[in-house]
């Protein structure tokens, strides 16, 4: 599940990573109060769980109260990238010296940092146009407090030496945030470097492992989720229907949006997006997956199923262990719809061994999974 920026920044601040003074507002009364408290100039940002808001008119600068109100009126209630805007983050505009990039993702082998000399741009574009400006730091779980790999990375990309300790502290705090909050991914882009050496998270893209929400009360609070007595929502499966030929089975809306965008770029779309997060959290993975496949096989529009799961809070090998018997039963029953697997995360090597033993191929990543899925649609 992808958090809104304001939610992600709240989580970062609670772990010692500062961001500009700001307030989340939903009406003009709250906006006026925010302007008075924060001061001018300001930046206004729509709060929707997608990237690329600036290119869609979702980020505006304001030098006066009248300008801020005008921007707010255009933003609130509008629809951007399929999401209706119900809240806007109003922040103090930072007087920055440099924009950097710091990101972290959960991999099969542990955590992987990506640190960029230049922020505020798409990191994928920078990796092609200026690969020397990016350093990758892989960390195994037992290395989360290691310093040397980071210092080498800072030197490689040319970060100022007198700020290495500051950057090192931020990276360690980000690692703690990811591991303690069951995050799949955390990205600060841009990370502002101020003239006095202070680092501020100007934007935050935070994705939570949905299967671990039951043990993350603070994140449930940020999301406004009500508990059902055992720390999880009542629903076992959540399904979104579309008109495409691909059924996506996985975690949360964030990945569904990512897969949907990649399919759209190839001229295809989702016919269903089925979220199994709570089923997995309640250890009903096999039962729920069998039910999902039964539903999908009754839908004549669906030509291929993509099972896309990246787990950090839950062990992916335990999830795979529950999925394999269901997959084997479908294989023995000569299932009509092909199933593409992209299963990675915590204890990924064990999961791979389980899949190899059962002779089920596992894609190398989302791009590989999309390409494999497209082959079945030709």
Return the pLDDT at 296: 83
Return the pLDDT at 228: 45
258-295 pLDDT, tens per residue? Answer: 788 888 888 898 888 888 877 787 778 888 888 788 77
DSSP string, 284-318: -HHHHHHHHHHHHHT-TT--EEEEEEEESSS-HHH
pLDDT band at 134 (very low <50, low <70, confident <90, very high): very high
Residue 140 in this model has a pLDDT that exceeds 80: no
pLDDT band at 63 (very low <50, low <70, confident <90, very high): very high
Residue 50 in this model has a pLDDT that exceeds 80: yes
Residue 2 in this model has a pLDDT that exceeds 70: yes
What average pLDDT score do residues 204-208 get?
A: 93
* Distance, CA of 238 to CA of 51 (rounded, Å): 23
114 vs 111, which has greater pLDDT? Answer: 114
347 vs 298, which has greater pLDDT? Answer: 347
Return the pLDDT at 333: 60
What average pLDDT score do residues 167-181 get?
A: 92
Residue 340 in this model has a pLDDT that exceeds 50: yes
Return the pLDDT at 331: 76
Domains of the chain: residue spans and CATH:
21-92 (3.30.1490.20), 96-208 (3.30.470.20), 238-375 (3.40.50.261)
pLDDT band at 237 (very low <50, low <70, confident <90, very high): very low
Q: What is the per-residue burial (b if ≥16 Cβ within 10 Å, else e) of 135-164?
A: bebebeeeeeeeeebbbebbeebebeeebb
Positive or negative: CA dihedral 125, 126, 130, 131: negative
Question: Coil, strand, or helix at residue 241?
Answer: strand
Q: By the 8 A CB rule, do 93 and 71 touch? A: no
Return the pLDDT at 336: 74
What average pLDDT score do residues 297-325 get?
A: 88
Question: Coil, strand, or helix at residue 64?
Answer: coil
pLDDT band at 224 (very low <50, low <70, confident <90, very high): confident
* Distance, CA of 320 to CA of 358 (rounded, Å): 11
Residue 232 in this model has a pLDDT that exceeds 60: no
Question: Coil, strand, or helix at residue 245?
Answer: coil
**Mean pLDDT score of the chain:** 87
Residue 346 in this model has a pLDDT that exceeds 90: no
Residue 231 in this model has a pLDDT that exceeds 60: no
Percent of the chain scoring above 70 in pLDDT: 90
* Count of beta carbons in the 10 Å neighbourhood of residue 230: 9
Cα-to-chain-centroid distance, residue 236: 21
Where do we find the tokens 């629809």? 79
Return the pLDDT at 210: 73
pLDDT band at 144 (very low <50, low <70, confident <90, very high): low
């Amino acid at each position: 599940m992808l958090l809104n920026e304001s939610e992600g920044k709240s989580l970062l601040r609670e772990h010692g990573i500062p961001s500009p003074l700001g307030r989340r507002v939903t009406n003009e009364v709250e906006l006026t109060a925010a302007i008075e408290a924060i001061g001018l100039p300001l930046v206004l940002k729509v709060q929707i769980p997608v990237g690329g808001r600036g290119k869609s008119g979702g980020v505006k600068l304001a030098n006066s109260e009248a300008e801020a109100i005008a921007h707010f009126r255009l933003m609130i209630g509008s629809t951007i990238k399929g999401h209706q805007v119900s809240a806007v983050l109003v922040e103090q505009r930072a007087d920055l010296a440099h924009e950097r990039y710091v990101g972290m993702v959960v991999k099969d082998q542990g955590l992987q940092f990506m640190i960029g000399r230049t922020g505020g741009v798409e990191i994928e574009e920078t990796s092609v146009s200026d690969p020397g400006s990016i350093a990758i730091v892989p960390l195994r779980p037992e290395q989360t407090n290691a310093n040397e790999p980071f210092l080498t990375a800072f030197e490689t990309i040319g970060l100022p030496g007198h700020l290495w300790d500051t950057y090192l502290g931020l990276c360690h705090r980000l690692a703690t945030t990811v591991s303690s909050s069951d995050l799949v991914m955390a990205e600060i882009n841009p990370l502002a470097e101020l003239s006095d050496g202070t680092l501020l998270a100007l934007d935050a893209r935070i994705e939570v492992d949905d299967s671990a929400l039951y043990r993350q009360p603070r994140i449930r609070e940020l999301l406004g989720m009500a508990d059902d007595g055992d720390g999880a929502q009542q629903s076992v499966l959540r399904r979104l229907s579309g008109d495409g030929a691909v059924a996506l089975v996985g975690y949360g809306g964030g990945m569904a949006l990512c897969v949907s965008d990649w399919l759209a770029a190839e001229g295809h779309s989702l016919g269903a997006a089925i979220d199994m997060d709570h089923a997995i959290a309640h250890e009903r993975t096999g039962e729920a997956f069998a039910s999902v496949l039964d539903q999908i096989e009754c839908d004549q529009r669906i030509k291929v199923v993509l099972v896309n799961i990246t787990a950090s809070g839950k062990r992916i090998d335990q999830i795979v262990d529950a999925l394999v018997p269901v997959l084997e039963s479908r294989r023995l029953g000569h299932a009509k719809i092909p199933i593409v697997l992209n299963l990675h995360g915590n204890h990924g090597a064990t999961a791979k061994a389980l899949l190899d033993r059962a002779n089920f191929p596992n894609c190398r990543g989302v791009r590989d999974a999309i390409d494999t899925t497209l082959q079945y649609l030709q």
